[in-house]
Amino acid sequence: MSDAGLQTSGEIAAQPIMPVRRLHNYIYCPRLFYLQWVENIFEENADTAAGSLVHRKSDQPSRLDDERLSALREGLAEGSKLRSLRLESETLGLVGTIDIVEGGDDGTCVIDYKKGSARRLDDGTCVAKEPDSVQVAAYTLLLREHGTIVSSAFIYYADDKRRVPVSLTDELIARTKTALVEAREIAAAGRLPPPLINDRRCDFCSAYPICLPRESAWWTLARERRASEEAQLRLQFPPGELPEEFTGVPPADHDPLPPPRPPRDDGELLVVQKPGSQVGQRGGEFVVTVQGEVVRKLPLNQVRGIFLYGAVQLTAQAAESCLENGVDVSYFAASGRFLGLLRGLPASGIDARLGQARQFTEPFFRLKLSRECLRAKISNQRTMLMRNGDVPDRVLRLMAEARDATADARDLSELLGCEGAAASIYFEQFASMLKGAEWKFDFGGRNRRPPRDPVNALLSLGYSILAKELAGVCHAVGLDPFLGFLHQPRYGRPALALDLMEEFRPLVADSVTISLINRGEIDTGDFIRATTGTFLNEQGRRRFWEAWFRRMDSEVSHPEFGYKMSYRRMLEVQARQLWRVVRGDAPNYHGFTTR
């Protein structure tokens, strides 16, 4: 099978790039693969924790420069090593981080670390387990794709404290390619594979509490028995004379449930992000203090939600008041990652999600919402070029044409074509917005997974944080962050958050990147370039967060309502607007744009 054969048509080709680790899961157990790749469910146990410990040394990435990149393609010198080398191939549809790539006397060698022991044959010979062999074969394919010929491969089994060779035969390579196709077909089918039956692998699997292989098998047999018994009962009645109660038809006078009470839309959103802050409750007020000093007070009946970022405490009295008064408390890490939600028992919390799921099945609704998200995104990209760049009128005219063309897109494919054309123009002109830097940023276009230069590293970090923040906002307002309309809901990614994020990409993430560079707040010393990509060091991250919070706290006018609010609040307003639309309370969604 050729490499091109790994990408098939339809849903399989549209799937995201698969981590090599998930291919290992598929060989071990297709059901485990489905749970971890499609459902994004992962449970830690003693074995996975021990495996992380084994990888601790190899997980320290090597620094990567042009000389070492060239050596990797031509063959590493004997004794030379690269640790945690991350490679990706769209042709193969694979991405993975190789524990060690080592130069040997006969060429390049791949080494993967595993907890546990090798498989022992009857004659006492140690051989690599099949999932482990397929994993190193996949790494071999990735290296070949990047111009490196692999001469040998080993699995280091920690319990045995020895390297076990893997023979990179044509049969193993073919098996690896076939397994990748099979795994993608299972993922595209959208059905959880059956569990293994009486298999010892289940006893060591971290997903056992979720998979419940023995219980699942019993339930399957029980359903088959019930179906057989029902078929036998049906044969006792003449055709057309089956009693109505046997069919399970519900009574006609079934009373519907009372209408759900929508969540509160009035009041303010209290956002506390200063480390060491405390939110307490005194009398009828929420009180925010920093080191004992009161910095803000708000009446309980004026607060509809509280967002806590990082090391911020909520007292027991304040928590009880929130539960009694229906005030949701959303917890975020200092990085913006959503952690969880403190919420009382609502009258109904499923109406918006039901509407969201129902509207997802309506192609016209999905297209209409997607048009508006991308129209707003392209409009904001054009505004950024007008504000900060030095671009010819022709470029602005093309961006305007792409923006207006979104309204006439007949399907999502055509709409994405409009967005792609605008993105190409925008990033071609992106460098014109970077001014006053003491050194030249290497920006020749958008690259990611991993970002290969500082500008793309800043953009990728900004987009990641923005997506996570919006995922938390969606959850807080009662939407399912994983069920999107433009972005396909797949593999645990917050598709709806990515939909809402489109219009804010230029105004938040891109703006933070441009501000950091043009103000001279960041330089090349704030970045690390390694085999895993280009990323900020500790000092760079601190400077990035200062700029991020500054941007999120800056105020902007809403295009429809005219009032001013911070970008952080605007994210919540847009999510709340979509909440109304999917519930049927509002006919249309209006994307956020600025002039």
Give pLDDT tens digits for 302-341. Answer: 887 788 878 899 999 999 998 888 787 878 776 555 577 7
| Confidence band of 239 (pLDDT split at 50, 70, 90) | low
pTM of the model: 0.54
Quote the tokens at residue 418. Answer: 């409009």
Contact 85, 105 (CB under 8 A): no
Instruction: Compute how many other C-beta atoms are within 10 angstroms of the C-beta atom of residue 412.
Output: 17
Q: Which of 335-339, 368-372, 533-537 has the least mean pLDDT?
A: 335-339
Distance CA 193, CA 484 (A): 25
Distance CA 471, CA 496 (A): 8
Q: Where are the alpha helices (H) located in 482-553, listed in sequence order?
A: 495-501, 511-518, 538-553
Contact 403, 371 (CB under 8 A): no
Mean pLDDT of 516-538: 78
Quote the tokens at residue 339. Answer: 């952690």
Contact 462, 509 (CB under 8 A): yes
Q: Which of 139-148, 343-352, 493-502 has the least mean pLDDT?
A: 343-352
Q: Which of 220-229, 398-407, 486-495 has the least mean pLDDT?
A: 220-229
- Return the pLDDT at 24: 94
Give the containing element (helix H, strand E) for 463.
helix 454-477
Quote the tokens at residue 529. Answer: 């370039």
Instruction: Compute how many other C-beta atoms are within 10 angstroms of the C-beta atom of residue 469.
Output: 26
- Return the pLDDT at 123: 84
- Return the pLDDT at 214: 65
Distance CA 423, CA 253 (A): 56
Q: Which of 267, 266, 278 is nearest to 313 (CA)?
A: 278
Higher pLDDT pick, 237 / 417: 417
3-state secondary structure of 266: coil
Distance CA 567, CA 504 (A): 9
Structural domains in the chain, CATH included, are: 3-193 (3.90.320), 268-342 (3.100.10.20), 351-583 (1.20.120.920)
Instruction: Compute how many other C-beta atoms are within 10 angstroms of the C-beta atom of residue 473.
Output: 26
Q: Point out which residues pair with 82 in neighbouring strands.
A: 101
- Return the pLDDT at 228: 66
Above pLDDT 70, what percent of the chain?
Answer: 74
Give Cα separations from 135 to 34, 150, 254 (angstroms).
17, 14, 56
Q: Where are the alpha helices (H) located in 5-112, listed in sequence order?
A: 10-14, 20-28, 30-33, 46-54, 66-74
Antiparallel, parallel or unpaired: β 18-19 and 533-536: unpaired
**Is pLDDT at 266 greater than 60 in this prediction?**
no
Distance CA 432, CA 549 (A): 25
Distance CA 493, CA 513 (A): 24
